[in-house]
């Protein structure tokens, strides 16, 4: 009998070990007295540990056996043995309900994390779950044998692949000191407000240029703005407006010293640095929008200045839609587009609207009757082409995002 009991205990320990899971929030492993475990294919974790790790406060209602987590404007309520949970009062169905194990309430990690706006990844090889809280949306690049992770897909001239946070933490990789600011400390080329000082080597197009970043030439893509194509491999997609915007940026940035400010993601999926760019202390992203050279193009989570950008575009649209009594003056270094002595590409006049407005063809949404300068604005699929004068005659409104 003793041998049988010993065997059963050993078997239970092995089973528990097989289901053991490592849980990380960002780069930190979460230590709990009741370890995370897998139940019916779902990772369950102690309720207080997961809520507090992602910045939520939590309280427990012993009468109803319900945990309530609050973070910002989001409230999540989850009850033991109830297959329904609630996010801001809206019912959500759970594959596995909250459970009571060893006197601890454990809850589905993915459901709680995603309900609170975090990303969750899984690395099967080591059975590791990772919640991206402050690192949400951040691309990480690694090699099969390297000891570091990178924010740049071309750091130091290397070749990397995009890895999940779960893989990075489970392999114990550490931050590359050439492309990551470790613990918020500034690198020698970083100013006190965490802007990186560099020089623009060459301009690629209106919203992209090449600069030296920690000794490596990196492409830098401006956040929140989009200019027409001018160097697309498919030449049919390149436009005269794109050439104008490229010349505009080349005149103002090439060879100049600038500062780069990063948002949540330091790089995009193509390995380009994503930045707000400052010239003599003035954000160039805003300049492009103010002067009508670029349109607003925001992609979460890089939205630090989206309210400023939207205000600029709205003000620009109001000025553009108004009937000016006198045409605006042409600024220095600009020539009239239709002037017979204009011998080089230039930019449109300030206040007359964005470069896009020079085209006579517009795209009108069949659903909202809004006028767009590009056929795929906001993922629009149902539209009709017409001349801009016809659209104006019908009284259609201009889309604030692409005009």
Positions marked catalytic: 221, 229, 272
Which one, of 389, 378, 385, 392, lies nearest residue 226 by Cα? 378
Residues 295/300/301/302 CA torsion (nearest 10 deg): 0
Sign of CA dihedral 360, 365, 369, 371: negative
Q: Is the dihedral of CA 271, 276, 316, 353 positive or negative?
A: negative
Contact 245, 293 (CB under 8 A): yes
Q: How far is CA 190 from CA 102, 185, 206, 271, 305, in A?
A: 50, 9, 25, 20, 20
Cα 119–Cα 125–Cα 130 angle in degrees, nearest 5: 20
End-to-end CA distance of the chain: 81
H or E stretch including 119?
strand 119-123
Rounded distance, CA 125 to CA 181, Å?
29
Q: Could you give the angle at the alpha carbon of 245 between the alpha carbons of 243 and 246, nearest 5°?
A: 65
Q: Which helix (H) or strand (E) holds 3?
A: helix 2-19
Give the pairing type, strands 208-213 and 57-61: unpaired
**What is the three-class DSSP state of 27?**
coil
With contact defined as beta carbons under 8 Å apart, do 71 and 53 qualify? no
Report H helices in 28-172: 47-53, 109-115, 165-170
Distance CA(83)–CA(74), nearest Å, equals 20
CA atoms within 13 Å, Cβ hemisphere of 186: 12
- Classify residue 164 as left (phi > 0), alpha (psi -120 to 50) or beta: beta
């Amino acid at each position: 009998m003793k041998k049988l009991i010993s065997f059963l205990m050993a078997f239970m320990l092995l089973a528990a070990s097989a289901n053991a899971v490592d849980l990380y929030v960002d780069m930190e492993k979460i230590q709990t007295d009741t370890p995370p475990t897998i139940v019916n294919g779902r990772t369950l974790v102690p309720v207080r540990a997961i809520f507090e790790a992602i910045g939520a406060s939590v309280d427990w209602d012993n009468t109803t056996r319900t945990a309530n987590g609050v973070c910002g404007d989001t409230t999540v309520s989850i009850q033991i043995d109830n297959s329904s949970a609630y996010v801001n009062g809206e019912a959500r169905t759970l594959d596995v309900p909250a459970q009571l194990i060893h006197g601890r309430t454990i809850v589905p990690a993915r459901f709680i994390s995603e309900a609170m706006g975090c990303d969750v990844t899984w690395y099967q090889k080591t059975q590791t779950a990772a919640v991206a809280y402050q690192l949400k949306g951040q691309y990480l690049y690694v090699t099969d044998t390297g000891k570091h992770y990178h924010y740049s897909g071309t750091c130091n001239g290397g070749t990397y692949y995009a890895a999940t946070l779960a893989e990075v933490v489970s392999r114990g990789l550490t931050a590359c000191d050439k492309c990551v600011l470790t613990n918020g400390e500034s690198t020698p080329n970083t100013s006190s407000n965490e802007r990186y000082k560099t020089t623009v080597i060459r301009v690629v197009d209106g919203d992209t240029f090449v600069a030296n970043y920690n000794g490596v030439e990196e492409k830098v893509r401006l956040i929140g703005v989009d200019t027409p194509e001018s160097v697309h491999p498919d030449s049919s997609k390149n436009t005269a407006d794109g050439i104008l915007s490229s010349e505009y940026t080349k005149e103002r940035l090439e060879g100049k010293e600038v500062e780069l400010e990063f948002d949540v993601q330091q790089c995009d999926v193509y390995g380009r640095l994503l930045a707000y760019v400052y010239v003599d202390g003035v954000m160039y992203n805003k300049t492009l929008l103010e002067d009508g050279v670029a349109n607003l193009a925001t992609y979460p989570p890089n939205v630090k200045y989206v309210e400023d950008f939207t205000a600029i575009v709205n003000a620009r649209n109001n000025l553009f839609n108004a009937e000016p009594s006198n045409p605006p003056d042409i600024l220095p270094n600009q020539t009239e587009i239709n002037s017979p002595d204009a011998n080089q590409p230039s930019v449109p006049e300030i206040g007359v609207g964005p470069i896009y407005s020079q085209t006579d063809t517009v795209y009108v949404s069949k659903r909202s009757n809004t006028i767009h300068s590009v056929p795929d604005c906001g993922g629009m699929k149902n539209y009709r082409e017409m001349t801009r004068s016809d659209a104006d005659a019908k009284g259609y409104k201009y889309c604030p995002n692409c005009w």
